[in-house]
Amino acid sequence: MKLWDKGFSTDKKIDHFTVGNDRELDLLLAKYDVIASKAHAKMLGKIGLLTDGETSALVNELDAIADTIEKGSFTIEDSFEDMHSKIEFVLTEKLGDTGKKIHTARSRNDQVLVAMHLYLKNELQEIKSETGLLFDLLMDLAEEHKAVMLPGYTHLQIAMPSSFGLWFSAYAESLIDDLYFIEAAYKVADQNPLGSAAGYGSSFPIDRSFTTKEMGFETMKYNVVAAQMGRGKVEKATAFGMSSIAATLSKMAMDICLYMSQNFDFISFPDELTTGSSIMPHKKNPDVFELVRAKCNKLQAVPNQLILITNNLPSGYHRDLQLVKEVIVPAIQDLKACLEILTFSLKEIRVNKNILDDPKYDYLFSVDTLNELVQNGMPFRDAYKKMGMEINEGTFTPKRDIEHSHEGSLGNLCLDKIRGKMKKSF
CATH classification at residue 88: 1.10.275.10
In terms of domains, do 302 and 190 share one?
A: yes
74: left (phi over 0), alpha (psi -120 to 50) or beta: beta
Q: Please give the single-letter amino acid code of residue 1.
A: M
Does residue 225 sit in helix, strand or coil? helix
Could you give the CA distance from residue 118 to residue 33 in angstroms, rounded to a whole number?
9
Does residue 348 sit in the same domain as residue 294?
Answer: yes
Angle between helical axes of 22-46 and 83-95 (0-180°, round to 10): 50
Does residue 305 share a domain with residue 380? Answer: no
- Count Cβ neighbours within 10 Å for each residue of 29-46 and write b for 16 or more, e otherwise: bbbbbbbbbbbbbbbbbe
Beta-carbon contacts of residue 108 (< 8 Å; ≥ 6 apart): 3, 4, 82, 84
Same structural domain for residues 188 and 228? Answer: yes
Q: What's the angle, vertex CA 131, arms to CA 127 and CA 134, rounded to 5?
A: 145
Residues in the chain: 426
Phi, psi of 328 (to 5 degrees): -80, -40
pLDDT digits (tens, 9 = 90+) for 36-85: 999 999 999 999 999 999 999 999 999 999 999 999 999 998 888 889 99
Domain count for the chain, please give it: 3
Tell me: do 118 and 184 sit in the same domain: yes
Q: Which domain holds residue 394?
A: 357-425
More confident residue, 391 or 414: 414
Cα–Cα distance for residue pair 327/36, rounded to 1 Å: 23
Q: Does 273 lie in the same domain as 233? A: yes
The residue from 306, 339, 354 where one domain ends is 354
User: Do 179 and 294 belong to one domain?
Assistant: yes
What's the rounded Cα separation, in Å, for the pair 210 and 213? 5
CB 145 within 8 A of CB 350: no
Q: Which of 126, 125, 95, 122 is nearest to 31 (CA)?
A: 122
Q: What is the mean pLDDT of residues 392-399?
A: 85
Higher pLDDT, 1 or 312: 312
- How far, in Å, CA of 298 to CA of 174, rounded? 20
Do 347 and 361 lie in one domain? The reply is no
Same domain, 67 and 114: no
Q: Is the pLDDT of residue 20 over 70?
A: no
Compute the C-alpha angle 190/322/202, nearest 5°. 60
The pLDDT value given to residue 188 = 97
Contacts of 49 (CB under 8 A, 6+ apart): 101, 104, 105, 204
| 134 lies in the same domain as 44 | no
- Mean predicted confidence (pLDDT) in 172-195: 98
Q: Is residue 205 part of a domain?
A: no
pLDDT tens readout for residues 332-380: 999 999 999 999 999 999 999 999 999 889 988 888 888 888 989 999 9
Average pLDDT over residues 195-201: 94
Q: Which residue would you say has higher pLDDT here, 241 or 319?
A: 241
* DSSP letter (8 states) at residue 404: -
Q: Are residues 261 and 295 in the same domain?
A: yes
Q: Looking at the domain assignment, is residue 232 inside a domain?
A: yes
Does residue 50 lie in a domain region?
yes
